[in-house]
Structure 1
Amino acid sequence: MKKILFIVDDLGKGGAEKITLELAHTLAKSKNLVTLAVLNSSKNTLIVDPSIEYIDLNIDSKFAFGKLWKFKELTKKEQQIFSSLINKRNFDLIIIGFHNGYYLGKYLTQKENIWYWIHGDLLEIRNFNNPLKRIKEHIRFFKNKRKFSKLFKGKNLITVNRDLEEKAKIHAQPNKTTTIANGIELPKDLINRSKSTIKNWDVIFVGRLVPIKQVDHAIKAFAMSNICGKMAIVGDGSERKKLEELSKELGIADRVDFLGWVDDPRELMLQSKCLVMSSLYEGSPVTLAEAIALGIPVISYDSSAGITDLFTLDTAKFGLVPKQNIRALSSALEKCVQNPYKYNQECIDKVCMDNMQKKILQLCD
């Protein structure tokens, strides 16, 4: 039995928050003493099981929710509260998660077995056609790279895919690094219903409607195909209005259902023949892991190791297409709807929460 502490900004709608809570639940069910502390609970949407000790540190929102690269420091009062709630414990493992929580590391009196969990690319370079914007982007990247090094130099880092691990080694000179892909655990009755559930949509997208997800690529690919059925867009974000206008311009507005944010999209995933992923980059997408566990074939850009590593050689030839190739994405979607492929046991084992739990517990040794 281990005493484990997770620190995360909040328990909101993101994949990092969701996987943290599910991992904490799994560890608690295995008779470990699990504590989960959030910086600020005002954005919480997820429910914490009573088997987990839950702590709201009630840190000011400017610290808890501001941009990662802005310098953050606790007030004296917040330091006292943090110390009284956290530093008087003797944890076997402390995992500081995504992403403003990283700044709390310096306030921990415990120095052993502290790991920083990196869920996504903190050093991405965005592409712009405008020359001035490209210059500003490189300046931004240079500043972020320096802060990344200061924040993680000499630290122990958990990354969710091999790409992030290699980037961290180059830019941060960490003490230790390890890659642990996200795992999931789904109810057996949900998995058993995957074949019998009526399919209301041919294609489904699940995720935030933001630029990096490139949902416009998925909509264009659907429009280019000879698929006659409907497409579901599950999620919300800054790009929603643009995407709704795009579906009208392409003449498929009557076949694209924008369903908004759904707390548990797995039921909708079961009602779909395949799931599409069109992101410019992904860390270790929970939606992909859920689709594999449910037996729902995925068509995705081969955009990162976080996606590639969850496929096997036999499934990759059906499910992965060259990144940024909308025509290839469209062709693969059409083939998948007509003839869905199946996952083998190796693929299913890769997304198993038990495997993730074993790797996390090994960090205590």
Structure 2
Amino acid sequence: MSPTLPRTSVLFNVVDFNDGGIESSLIQWLRILDRSQFDITLSVMFASPAFVSRFRALIPQDVKVEILVDRPWLNHFQSRRYARKLSKLGRIGRDVFNTLAVRPYVRKRIAALAKHHDVIVDFDMSLRRWASQFNIAWLGINHFSFDARLGNRPRKARRLALQYARYDAVVALNQHMADEANAMFGDGLRQLVVLPNAIDIDAINASASAPNAHTAPVTAPYIVSVARLDEIQKDHRTLLRAYAKMVEHHDVAEDLVIVGNGAFRQELEGLAAELKIARRVHFVGHQDNPHALIAHARALVLSSRYEGMPMVLLEALAHGKPIVATDCPTGPREILDDGRAGILVPIGEADTMADALMRIVADAALRDAMTASALARAQHYGIEQSNRRFAACVAAILAARRAAHKTTMQASV
């Protein structure tokens, strides 16, 4: 019998848990990683209300969880922020307090944890000031389009370039994002790795029938959008205009269900009324488990101006949903396999989006073909291939560190 190889000890880190795609993708990684290869710890800087009430229960029981800011007095400002009671003056006080008290405390906690791990996966790059420290391999994961976030902010891009250069490797979620990083940072990064988000396909499908799954508020068939109500990025205005054109020019049976909360909800509800579609557009707010809504929809639509690698598209593939998505930077084109697993439309073009959605709702054969393509494409992001990619990434950065250490030792002799 061959000896059992020691597992690689991996520390994932994130600031906190709210209701974004980063949190969803992190939970998926914690679930799917091969326990025969990896021993996993999760460090969370702040125990947010969402973490306590929802996400803590979603973390696998074998994952060790460390709350970094574990002293009540260190949580004063962050608690007020979660309660939305932090004034402008309070935000200034928080920044000063974090610099003088919270950050040094967190650094000590990370330093202590690093002694018992092989790799830190800085999942939101919130520890980038300390990357390369503590004699441990560092992997920093970027979730957004570099161009969209930094293209018009050269000073911030230069500052981040210096911090990103400290990681053993920076992860881009897709090739488009990696191309942006290469153009922006050149050879400044030690290593750039493409590592897509992962999904547990069986668990996603099981979630659609879980007791907490939210079902549609209508008996009619429907199209669904699942995205934060943030018009700077998500562009529901174009979606509403596209749906209004469908209703105006065709006999459309499908309603539109919009899942998500945000500062623009009132404006979007007003636009739906102005377009005379308010009766058929259902704003259902944020849902902890929207999978039943996705699974039973006629189609899913994503209208974003830019993305990172949207988890909702991966989850829609797992459900076998026909998808219409804007061809925005950076995720949809790669996720939908250059349009073979869904329909890509230009950003902000309501007419084209309406035409694409009409093709789907009017053609059952097309929907069946798109379902088959979606399910096949989902396998690319499933457990087996995701574990292979993650294991190769970690092995590469550990091998590079060993080689660098060997070179240093030889040079010192």
Q: Same fold (TM over 0.5)?
A: yes
Closer, same or farther: CA 279–25 of 1 in aligned 2, 3 Å: same
Secondary structure of the 2:201 match is coil
What's the counterpart of residue 392 of structure 2?
362
Q: In structure 1, how many angstroms separate the alpha carbons of the residues matched to 2:107 and 2:198?
A: 34
Secondary structure of the 2:353 match is helix
How many angstroms does 1:221 deviate by? 0.7
CA contact (8 A) 2:307 2:328 kept: yes
Out of 330, 338, 345, the position equivalent to 2:354 is: 330
Report the TM-score, using the length of structure 1 for normalisation.
0.84
Alignment of 1:89-128 (within 5 A): 89-91=116-118, 93-105=119-131, 108-111=133-136, 113-124=137-148
Out of 15, 27, 30, the position equivalent to 2:33 is: 27
More helix as a share of residues = 2
How many angstroms does 1:122 deviate by? 4.5
CA contact (8 A) 2:205 2:318 kept: no
Instruction: State, as a whole percentage, how many aligned pairs show the same letter.
Output: 21
How many angstroms does 1:204 deviate by? 0.5
Root mean square deviation, CA, Å:
3.0
Q: In structure 2, how many angstroms separate the alpha carbons of the residues matched to 1:193 and 1:41?
A: 27
Out of 34, 37, 44, the position equivalent to 1:38 is: 44
Q: Name which one, 1 or 2, has greater alpha-carbon Rg.
A: 2
Q: In structure 1, how many angstroms separate the alpha carbons of the residues matched to 2:339 and 2:262?
A: 34
Q: In structure 2, how many angstroms separate the alpha carbons of the residues matched to 1:99 and 1:192?
A: 29
What is the aligned residue count?
A: 344
Q: In structure 1, how many angstroms separate the alpha carbons of the residues matched to 2:267 and 2:303?
A: 16
**Which amino acid is 1:159 matched to?**
A
Closer, same or farther: CA 358–200 of 1 in aligned 2, 3 Å: farther
Out of 141, 153, 162, the position equivalent to 2:175 is: 162
**Which amino acid is 2:353 matched to?**
L
Alignment of 1:60-139 (within 5 A): 73=99, 75-84=103-112, 86-91=113-118, 93-105=119-131, 108-111=133-136, 113-124=137-148, 138=152
Report the TM-score, using the length of structure 2 for normalisation.
0.75
How many angstroms does 1:123 deviate by? 4.3
Alignment of 1:197-236 (within 5 A): 200-211=220-231, 212-225=233-246, 226=250, 227-236=252-261
1:342 aligns with 2:386: no
How many angstroms does 1:292 deviate by? 0.7
Q: In structure 1, how many angstroms separate the alpha carbons of the residues matched to 2:316 and 2:103?
A: 43
Closer, same or farther: CA 41–103 of 1 in aligned 2, 3 Å: farther
5+ residue gaps, structure 2, are: 1-6, 82-90, 210-214, 396-413
Q: In structure 1, how many angstroms separate the alpha carbons of the residues matched to 2:154 and 2:121?
A: 27
1:311 aligns with 2:317: no
Secondary structure of the 1:124 match is helix
CA contact (8 A) 1:123 1:144 kept: no
5+ residue gaps, structure 1, are: 127-136
Alignment of 1:262-341 (within 5 A): 262-312=287-337, 315=340, 319-339=343-363, 340=367, 341=370
Instruction: Kindly provide the CA deviation profile for residues 137-156 of structure 1, in whole angstroms up to 9, marking residues without a partner as x.
Output: 94xx1222122212212531
CA contact (8 A) 1:277 1:300 kept: yes
What's the counterpart of residue 144 of structure 1?
156
Q: In structure 1, how many angstroms separate the alpha carbons of the residues matched to 2:103 and 2:196?
A: 35
**Which amino acid is 1:356 matched to?**
S
Q: In structure 2, how many angstroms separate the alpha carbons of the residues matched to 1:243 and 1:201?
A: 22
CA contact (8 A) 1:39 1:101 kept: no
